[in-house]
Structure 1
Amino acid sequence: MTTLRRPEIGSTPEPLDLSFPAMPDRLGEVRRQLREWLSRCGIGADRAYDVVLAVSEACSNSVEHGYRHGGGLVRLSGVVTATQLLIKVTDHGEWKSRDEPSDPRRGRGLQLMAALVSDAVVTSDADGTEVEFRIPLDPRLSS
C-alpha cells in the first residue's frame, strides 16, 4: 500500500484540474504536471513515482481504449486533504469490453495500477469511464 506524507497545515495546494486531447503525445506533459502538483502536495519523489506511473497508465488507457474510434478529451483531477490524495481520470469514451479477445502480450495496465495504488477503482457506464485513486496520507510523516 502506498502511504504518503501529509502536507503541512496551511500548505494545501490548489486542486489539480487538467483536460487534454486523447492523444499519446500529450501524456508526457500530463505526467510532468502531475509530478509538479504532487511535489506541491509534499509527496516525496519515490511515492510520487508510483502515483505518476499508476495515473499515467489510467490516462494511457483512456487515450487508447476510451477513444479508439476518434478523438476526445481526458480529464485528470486531484485534491489533497489532511488524510488522502483523491485523483480521478475521466473520459467520455467507451473502453474495450473485457469479453473482447486481447493480445496476450498486453492487458496488464489494471494490474499495474492496483499494484502501485491499493485503492484504484474503475467504473464505466454510458457516459464513459472513471478511474479513481484514493491514496492515504500518513500523518506521522508530516513535517
Structure 2
Amino acid sequence: MPTASDPDQLPAMGLRFELTAEWTAPSLARNRVRQWLVAQDWSAAAVDDLVLSISEAVSNSVEHGYGIAVDGPVQDLNSVVVVEGSVVDEPGGYRRVVLTVVDHGHWREPDTGPTNRRQGLRIMRACTEELTVTHSADGTKVVLRSWPIPVSRPSR
C-alpha cells in the first residue's frame, strides 16, 4: 500500500493515496497534499487552508471512523484512509481543488458535552467553500471544495 512518504511521481492534476488508520496519518496527509498543491501552483494562503482541512478530515477518520484513541495503538493494519484530490476548471478562467477523504469505519454521532475539542468540522467549513460529509454502513466520505482561484498564466 503506498504511503504519503513514497517517492513516486505526483500526478499532474490528480492525487490518490492510502494511509493506515493511525495517528501518523494526518501528518503524512498534510505533507503529501501540500507537496501536490505546490506542484499545481496553488497560492500559499489557499494551500495552508486546504492542508489544515485535510489534516482535520484524516484525523476524524482515524479517531471517529475507526475509534482509535489519541496516542492509541493501531487496531487493524487493514483499516485505511483514502485521500484523493483533483483540480477542476471553472468558468471564467478559474480553478478549484476537490479533496476527498474516505474511510470504512463506523459513524458515531459527536459527543455534545463540554470540551475544547470537536472543532474539526468547523475548521474544515472555515477553510473551504464547501464541505460535504456523507456516511453509510460502508464508512464516511468527506468532500472538501476549495474556493476558486485564477488559472495560472505562463510567465514570459
Same fold (TM over 0.5): yes
The residue aligned with 1:8 is: none
Shift of 1:31: 1.0
1:74 to 64, 76, 81: 81
Task: Identify the structure with bigger relative contact order (alpha carbons < 8 Å, sequence gap 6+).
Answer: 1
After superposition, the Cα gap between the structure-2 partners of 1:126 and 1:142, relative to the gap in structure 1 and judged at 3 Å, is same
SS in 2 for 1:86: strand
SS in 2 for 1:80: strand
- Structure 1's consecutive aligned runs of 4 or more residues displaced over 3 angstroms after TM superposition are 100-103
Please give the root-mean-square deviation of Cα atoms over the aligned residues, in Å: 1.8
Q: Percent identity?
A: 34
Q: How many residues align?
A: 130
The residue aligned with 2:47 is: 48
What is the identity, as a one-letter code, of the residue corresponding to 1:89? V
- What is the distance in 2 between the residues matched to 1:55 and 1:86? 11
- What is the distance in 2 between the residues matched to 1:59 and 1:87? 11
SS in 2 for 1:82: strand
TM-score (norm 1): 0.82
Q: Does 1:96 align with 2:108?
A: yes
What is the identity, as a one-letter code, of the residue corresponding to 1:114? R
Unaligned runs of 5+ in 1: 1-11
- What is the distance in 2 between the residues matched to 1:103 and 1:73? 30
After superposition, the Cα gap between the structure-2 partners of 1:124 and 1:68, relative to the gap in structure 1 and judged at 3 Å, is same
After superposition, the Cα gap between the structure-2 partners of 1:94 and 1:103, relative to the gap in structure 1 and judged at 3 Å, is farther
Shift of 1:103: 4.9
Unaligned runs of 5+ in 2: 1-10, 69-74, 91-95
